[in-house]
């Protein structure tokens, strides 16, 4: 057996040796459960997919119940540099729990490569990874510039070097805040409306934008409501995400 090495080059164990896994990253929870059913013994309260997941809940991604995690006797805990706190990973390691750290990917290929690395460490190589790679390999010509809010109180939008920004770029949509020095800028609503962006992409997570709370803030721009995980999750949903987003961005879901 070869070493299982995470995104930071850390040797976490031996490939295929893990039997009790806790995931603190919702998109990776879906990836692991679909690819290696039954391996997960714990997940966060926000791990909503797949709907059939039968695993103990250990709180949120930012503030998990570490005692509950340890009580599950995991031989691996999956974390992410953006979604989870370094202090929690260090505390788990200090307690003798192996922790796999994934980076926050800035592109679709980087997200899929990170997921492939994790699943290979678990000893599986699902076909959906190849399907997702093929689906997202092309980049469409630019046809729109968009604002992508992810929160409203206060307003927070997608900025530079983000997975969601690359998802939209591959669909031909430039991010109005791609050159901002912040990855998640906090412009005012007046500043947002003053941009030359012609489209506003409104996901249903982490903030749940709806037809009654979203488009109304941008009366002079076209708005599109989309499923948030299609923008931000780098798991099996990427196989269908391209077609679903294309329909949502150009179809009757726009205003």
Q: What is the CATH number of the domain that holds 224?
A: 3.40.50.1980
Is 141 exposed, middle or buried, given 0-12, 13-18 or 19+ CB atoms closer than 10 A? exposed
Answer yes or no: do 84 and 146 share one domain.
no
Answer yes or no: do 50 and 147 share one domain.
no
Tokens of 44: 């966060």
Of all residues in the chain, the percent with pLDDT exceeding 90 is 97
Residue 81 to residues 22, 95, 181, 210, 233, Cα–Cα distance (Å): 16, 20, 19, 29, 15
State how far the Cα of 33 lies from the Cα of 55, in Å rounded to an integer: 10
Q: Which helix or strand (DSSP H or E) is residue 98 part of?
A: none
**Residue 161 included in any domain:** yes
Compute the mean pLDDT over every residue in the chain, rounded to the nearest whole number.
Answer: 95
Answer yes or no: do 92 and 140 share one domain.
no
State how far the Cα of 185 lies from the Cα of 211, in Å rounded to an integer: 23
pLDDT confidence of 251, banded at 50, 70, 90? low
**Residue 227 included in any domain:** yes
Assess whether pLDDT exceeds 90 at residue 252: no
Answer yes or no: do 241 and 146 share one domain.
yes
Answer yes or no: do 78 and 152 share one domain.
no
**Residue 113 included in any domain:** no
Output the pTM of the full model. Answer: 0.92
**Residue 119 included in any domain:** no
**Residue 12 included in any domain:** yes
pLDDT confidence of 254, banded at 50, 70, 90? very low
Number of domains forming the structure of the chain: 2
**SS3 state of residue 14:** strand
**Residue 33 included in any domain:** yes
CA atoms within 13 A on the CB side of 177: 26
Q: Which residues form the domain of 144? A: 135-250
State how far the Cα of 192 lies from the Cα of 48, in Å rounded to an integer: 31
Res 171: pLDDT: 97
State how far the Cα of 100 lies from the Cα of 9, in Å rounded to an integer: 10
Of 250 and 232, more confident: 232
Res 103: pLDDT: 95
Answer yes or no: do 17 and 89 share one domain.
yes
pLDDT confidence of 189, banded at 50, 70, 90? very high
pLDDT confidence of 29, banded at 50, 70, 90? very high
In this predicted model, what pLDDT tens digit does every residue of 102-161 receive, in sequence order? 999 999 999 999 999 999 999 999 999 999 999 999 999 999 999 999 999 999 999 999
Answer yes or no: do 72 and 172 share one domain.
no
Answer yes or no: do 159 and 234 share one domain.
yes
Last residue of a domain, one of 65, 90, 105: 105
Assess whether pLDDT exceeds 80 at residue 253: no
Answer yes or no: do 90 and 152 share one domain.
no
Tokens 């340890």 sit on residue: 70
pLDDT confidence of 1, banded at 50, 70, 90? confident
pLDDT confidence of 198, banded at 50, 70, 90? very high
Listed residue (56, 86, 91, 60) closest to 72, CA to CA = 56
Answer yes or no: do 236 and 181 share one domain.
yes
pLDDT confidence of 191, banded at 50, 70, 90? very high
**Residue 156 included in any domain:** yes
Span 85-95, mean pLDDT?
96
Answer yes or no: do 150 and 232 share one domain.
yes
pLDDT confidence of 188, banded at 50, 70, 90? very high
Assess whether pLDDT exceeds 90 at residue 49: yes
Among the listed ranges 73-87, 130-144, 239-253, which one has the minimum average pLDDT value? Answer: 239-253
Residue 119 phi, psi dihedral angles, 5° rounding: -65, -35
Span 162-172, mean pLDDT?
97
**Residue 116 included in any domain:** no
Last residue of a domain, one of 84, 105, 126: 105
Last residue of a domain, one of 105, 124, 152: 105
Answer yes or no: do 101 and 173 share one domain.
no
């Amino acid at each position: 057996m070869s070493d299982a090495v995470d995104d930071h080059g850390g040797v976490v164990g031996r490939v295929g040796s893990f039997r009790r896994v806790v995931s603190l990253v919702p998109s990776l929870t879906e990836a692991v459960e679909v690819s290696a059913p039954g391996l997960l013994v714990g997940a966060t309260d926000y791990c909503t997919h797949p709907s059939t997941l039968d695993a103990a809940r250990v709180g949120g991604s930012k503030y998990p119940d570490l005692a509950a995690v340890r009580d599950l006797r995991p031989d691996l805990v999956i974390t992410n540099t953006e979604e989870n706190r370094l202090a929690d990973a260090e505390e788990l390691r200090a307690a003798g729990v192996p922790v796999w750290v994934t980076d926050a990917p800035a592109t679709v290929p980087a997200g899929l490569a990170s997921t492939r690395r994790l699943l290979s460490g678990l000893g599986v190589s699902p076909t959906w990874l190849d399907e997702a790679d093929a689906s997202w390999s092309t980049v469409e010509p630019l046809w729109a510039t968009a604002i992508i809010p992810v929160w409203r109180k206060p307003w927070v939008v997608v900025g530079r070097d983000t997975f969601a920004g690359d998802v939209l770029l591959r669909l031909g949509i430039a991010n109005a805040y791609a050159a901002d020095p912040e990855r998640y800028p906090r412009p005012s609503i007046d500043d947002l409306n003053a941009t030359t962006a012609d489209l506003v992409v409104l996901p249903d997570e982490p903030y749940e934008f709806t037809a009654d709370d979203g488009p109304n803030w941008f009366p002079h721009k076209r708005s599109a409501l989309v499923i948030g995980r299609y923008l931000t999750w780098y798991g099996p949903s990427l196989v269908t995400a391209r077609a679903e987003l294309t329909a949502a961005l150009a179809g009757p879901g726009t205003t």
